[in-house]
Structure 1
């Protein structure tokens, strides 16, 4: 999935007990897990050995994840789409052109609040 398509698409965002998105940390970056459909979420659950439990989720536009959720974490953060789907996963890292400049690691403004 290309960036423009992701921004326009409603994706599934698994949530945990406190209503926050399911995330994972890897190489110093927090990744918000998102899925293109229930089948992709099911593959992820099975890969984690948790295929038999219920996975609550919300539908969220990709643009909202990149423009609002990523900066709100307060740490380097990107979006991992369809983790656990062999060959179909896509990473949207915290860099210029994908997330707001204040959340992009490749700018001098990283961490500054928007005005």
Structure 2
């Protein structure tokens, strides 16, 4: 039996369908408890793509389980942390010392969403669209 989608998963679906308010999507991400798998070495699971380190997080245990199956973990338990999206983007991302963003539900077909390291998602100090003096680019 498939469980009901979380509020964030619903907002992601709306956004992918071309509907919804992007600010509301970011707000929902910040309010949501996300499941972030351990990388096996005491850190959070992440992947590098396009010059960005993406912290991988999941909206619920079903989405996390799909990721585990795709990664070949099978029936082995996957350790994870339950973290507020706001904590990930406000505290963890800036502490990584490199461009980093949040990738949500990456194993869910037609249900993933990427929150890049830009102003309005991460703090200005960690945003790639802010120049050294702190003035935004293209604002």
* TM-score of the superposed pair, with normalisation by structure 2: 0.75
2:78 equivalent to 1:55: yes
Cα deviation digits, residues 45-69 of structure 1 (max 9, x gap): 1122222322101110000000001
C-alpha contact 1:12 1:38 (8 A) present in aligned 2? yes
Distance 1:51 1:33 in 2: 18
Cα deviation digits, residues 77-108 of structure 1 (max 9, x gap): 00000011001111000011100001100111
Q: What are structure 1's unaligned runs of at least 5 residues? A: 111-115
Segments of 4+ moved more than 6 angstroms: none
Q: Secondary structure at the match of 2:69?
A: helix
Q: Which has the larger radius of gyration?
A: 2
Instruction: Tell me which protein shows more helix as a share of its residues.
Output: 2
Aligned match of 2:34: 11
Instruction: Point out the more displaced range, 43-52 or 69-78.
Output: 43-52
Instruction: Tell me which protein shows more strand as a share of its residues.
Output: 1
Number of residues paired by the alignment?
111
* TM-score of the superposed pair, with normalisation by structure 1: 0.90
Aligned match of 2:55: 32
Distance 1:48 1:92 in 2: 22
Aligned match of 1:68: 91
Q: What are structure 2's unaligned runs of at least 5 residues? A: 1-11, 13-24, 134-139
Q: CA RMSD in A?
A: 1.6
